[in-house]
């Protein structure tokens, strides 16, 4: 059974999201990596919250995660409404870059799991160029199908044998969260589901301007860029998230206040 978290949390719909600032999150994950804590981290947005309400295994994946961070600005705003006034966004690409930047200083190694072989090659080249001294323990590009048990066993053995402290997993939501959840007792190290971070960092996919991100309009930017692929998701996802958040807001705010006060962590402003 999962132990109670040792940090502040806010309940949004059916998910518990960590009320940690970006720097607090970085510090926490560095300590886990150095201490060789076997764990996994889910980086959540509104799509994650809605999916958790529709898919039981994904809900279990978020529930049993050692940390769920607020990626989308609507989740940041929700935590601010609960009283966490210092809350900021903790997104996959930014978190990954900061951890890679500090990896040489913390003497931890990283592993990249996901995306295509070409992207992984570009990613490793970029990391070595931007962060001299970084130790890349290895990488693996899984096929676009479910791995057979013997294949998965070999991959996990390779990850563990590499000695990686941090494993960045880029499979997309909900695939990456479910993969981490299923392998949480087998993979040694801190697994972090970073979504499309590999593509963003290598320039394969362009991120919107920072102002667009801060306004919570990254979804609109992506919709304009990929309307055929994303319009159905956002047409369903956005109103469903708003409905579920408002429906559970009062009860969840009370639960959040009660949980943090009785755990001794309180609401920090």
63-80 in b/e burial notation, b at 16+ Cβ within 10 A?
Answer: eebbbbbbbbbbbbebbb
Domain-located, residue 227:
no
Which domain covers residue 93, as residue numbers? Answer: 15-207
Domain-located, residue 192:
yes
Please answer whether residues 18 and 79 qualify as being in contact, where contact means their C-beta atoms are separated by less than 8 angstroms: no
Domain-located, residue 249:
no
User: What DSSP designation does 108 have?
Assistant: -
Domain-located, residue 156:
yes
What CATH number is given to the structural domain containing 45? 3.40.50
Helix (H) or strand (E) holding 255: helix 227-262
pTM greater than 0.85 = yes
C-alpha–C-alpha distance, residues 269 and 256, integer Å: 15
C-alpha–C-alpha distance, residues 237 and 258, integer Å: 29
State whether the Cα torsion 84-88-89-94 is positive or negative.
Answer: negative
Residue 17 buriedness (CB in 10 A; 0-12 / 13-18 / 19+): buried
Based on the structure, what is the number of domains in the chain? 1
Instruction: Please give the chain's pLDDT, 269 residues, in tens.
Output: 455 567 889 999 999 999 999 999 999 999 999 999 999 999 999 999 999 999 999 999 999 999 999 998 999 999 999 999 999 999 999 999 999 999 999 999 999 999 999 999 999 999 999 999 999 999 999 988 888 889 999 999 999 999 999 999 999 999 999 999 999 999 999 999 999 999 999 998 888 788 888 888 887 877 788 888 877 888 899 999 999 999 999 999 888 877 776 665 554 54
Domain-located, residue 58:
yes
Domain-located, residue 23:
yes
Please answer whether residues 91 and 44 qualify as being in contact, where contact means their C-beta atoms are separated by less than 8 angstroms: no
C-alpha–C-alpha distance, residues 109 and 147, integer Å: 25
Domain-located, residue 133:
yes
Using alpha carbons only, what angle is made at residue 207 by residues 202 and 212, rounded to the nearest 5 degrees? Answer: 160
């Amino acid at each position: 059974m999962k132990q109670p978290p040792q940090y502040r949390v806010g309940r949004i719909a059916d998910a518990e999201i960590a009320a940690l600032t970006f720097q607090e999150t970085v510090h926490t994950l560095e300590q886990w990596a150095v201490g060789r804590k076997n764990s996994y981290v889910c980086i959540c947005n509104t799509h994650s919250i809605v999916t958790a309400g529709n898919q039981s295994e994904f809900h279990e994946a978020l529930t049993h995660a050692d940390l769920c961070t607020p990626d989308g600005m609507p989740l940041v705003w929700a935590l601010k409404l609960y009283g966490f006034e210092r809350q900021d966004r903790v997104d996959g690409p930014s978190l990954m870059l900061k951890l890679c930047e500090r990896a040489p200083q913390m003497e931890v190694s990283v592993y990249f799991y996901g995306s295509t072989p070409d992207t992984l090659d570009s990613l490793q080249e970029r990391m070595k160029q931007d962060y001299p001294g970084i130790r890349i323990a290895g990488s693996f590009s899984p096929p676009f199908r479910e791995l057979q048990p013997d294949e998965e066993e070999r991959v996990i053995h390779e990850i563990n044998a590499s000695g990686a402290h941090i494993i960045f997993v880029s499979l997309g939501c909900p695939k990456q969260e479910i993969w981490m959840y299923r392998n949480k007792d087998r993979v040694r190290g801190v697994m972090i589901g970073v979504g499309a971070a590999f593509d963003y960092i290598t320039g394969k996919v362009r991120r919107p301007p920072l102002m667009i991100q801060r306004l919570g309009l990254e979804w609109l930017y992506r919709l304009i860029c990929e309307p055929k692929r994303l319009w159905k998701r956002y047409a369903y996802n956005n109103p469903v998230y708003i409905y579920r958040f408002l429906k559970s807001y009062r009860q969840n705010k009370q639960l959040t206040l009660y949980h943090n006060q009785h755990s001794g962590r309180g609401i920090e402003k």
